[in-house]
Amino acid sequence: MKKVLMGNHAISYGATLSRVQVIAAYPITPQTQVVELLSEIVANGELDAEFIKVESEHSAMAACIGASAAGARAFTATSSQGLLLMHEVLHWASRARLPIVMANINRAISPGWTIWTDQNDSLSQRDTGWMQIYTADNQEVLDSIIIGYKVAEKVSIPLMIVLDAFVLSHTYEPVDVPDQEKIDKFLPPYKPKIKLDPEDPHAFGGLTAPNIYMEFQYNHQQAMMEAKKIINEVGKEYGDITGRYYQNLSPYKVDDAEYVVITTGTISKTTNIVVDKLRDSGVKIGNLRIRTLRPFPSEEIYEQLKGKKKVFVIDRNISFGNTGIFFQEVKASLYNTDIRVPIFGFVTGLGGRDVTPELIEEIVNIGIKNEKPEEEVIWMGVKK
């Protein structure tokens, strides 16, 4: 059924359709509506789940860890400072190989105090061992939660669905809410291979001496690399039942393009408008949206960028002292390949500054005009 939903409620419906069994969350703008609606859905009996009120985000994730270890499908949602407070337990969740799914609303980090969007909160968690998927509209948000559980449970790694504050979280868009029956077939109940169970006791997270610790890390990495394939397979399976297909990458008019813009999140959608406009005036340009940051789809990016003249990466984040983070990721992934084209790194839209079609067109024109980037980071729309 089609409903007009804000991104936050698209998350709530995604979690409900996934029949999550434990929800533990702490409110933070702009995420609060996610758990507000979920608490109503649980209270009125539409979803059979434990709703655990906690005193912090650290505790929210800790509760999810306990629930997931006991074999329950666990869910939480947070944003910005809340995600940062979770940091320690994020590592725990992933190294315990628990398939928790979490939604993070990308909100910039304070100070100066801010509630608006950029990606530095989730990107600070890049190396916590979680999978991360960046979404671009509310339909994708809902679908990605459901797909997320199937992927997470297949590879035993937690997964973070990421969306832009306000631009998605508080924006209403038509969203198809799939039938529960259809989703039940796609996503059967979670059956862990091993769980906390008094009838069949196991010890978890015990002392892991140097003779065995490294093997756990190796297995985690192998599972992560396997997830590249699994994300595409499960995304296709979901597409076959809903008509909406999701992969690690979402290319737009990249096939015959000479120039490729690389984008993430909602900037990608606006970029498609610019691609169409420039194509009308004869510029062969495409837009490659990266959905999956971890595992990083290096091989697929290589395939998409093979034979292109130039690449322009737009980052809504900054790694102080270096560059935008997706720019680093893309460059690093290509180093040992035969692709040797100029790659430009643009930083813009921090703290919710609007990214308009005009700004994106300006970015593309800088890239096309200059033989190679004159600066390692090109700041766009900043008052210097």
Partner 1 sequence: MLELRLHGRGGQGSVVASKILADAVMKSGKYVQAFPEFGVERRGAPVVAFVRIDDKPILLKSKIYTPDHLIVLDPTLIEAINITEGLKENGIILINSEQHPSEFKFDGKFRVMTVDAKRIAIKYRLGSKASPIVNTAILGAVIKAIPVTTMDYLVEAIKDGVPVKIEENIAAAKEAYDSLIKGE
Residues of this chain that interact with partner 1 (CB under 8 A) are 2-4, 6, 29, 115-116, 164-167, 170-174, 266-267, 269-270, 272-273, 352, 354-357
Contact 42, 92 (CB under 8 A): no
> Between 97 and 289, whose beta carbon lies closer to partner 1?
289
User: In the complex, what is the shortest distance from the CB of residue 59 to partner 1, in angstroms, rounded to a whole number?
Assistant: 26
User: In the complex, what is the shortest distance from the CB of residue 314 to partner 1, in angstroms, rounded to a whole number?
Assistant: 13
User: In the complex, what is the shortest distance from the CB of residue 313 to partner 1, in angstroms, rounded to a whole number?
Assistant: 18
User: In the complex, what is the shortest distance from the CB of residue 167 to partner 1, in angstroms, rounded to a whole number?
Assistant: 5
> Between 352 and 373, whose beta carbon lies closer to partner 1?
352
What does the alpha-carbon distance between residue 287 and residue 246 come to, in Å, rounded to a whole number?
A: 16
* 373 DSSP assignment: -
User: In the complex, what is the shortest distance from the CB of residue 107 to partner 1, in angstroms, rounded to a whole number?
Assistant: 11
Residue the block writes with tokens 């949602």: 77
> Between 68 and 169, whose beta carbon lies closer to partner 1?
169
User: In the complex, what is the shortest distance from the CB of residue 118 to partner 1, in angstroms, rounded to a whole number?
Assistant: 13
> Between 12 and 21, whose beta carbon lies closer to partner 1?
12
What does the alpha-carbon distance between residue 108 and residue 89 come to, in Å, rounded to a whole number?
A: 21
Tell me how far apart the terminal alpha carbons of the chain are, to the nearest angstrom.
48
In sequence order, which residues have a C-beta less than 8 Å from that of residue 247 and are 6 or more positions away? 231, 232, 235, 236, 291, 300
What are φ and ψ of residue 314, in 5° steps?
A: -105, 120
- Nearest 5 degrees, angle CA 112-CA 322-CA 166? 40
What are the CA-CA distances from residue 123 to residues 22, 127, 142, 353 (Å)? Answer: 26, 8, 21, 18
User: In the complex, what is the shortest distance from the CB of residue 48 to partner 1, in angstroms, rounded to a whole number?
Assistant: 25
> Between 6 and 67, whose beta carbon lies closer to partner 1?
6
What are the CA-CA distances from residue 39 to residues 1, 76, 151 (Å)? Answer: 22, 12, 25
Closest to 139 measured CA to CA, from 244, 47, 270? 244
> Between 269 and 284, whose beta carbon lies closer to partner 1?
269
> Between 2 and 384, whose beta carbon lies closer to partner 1?
2
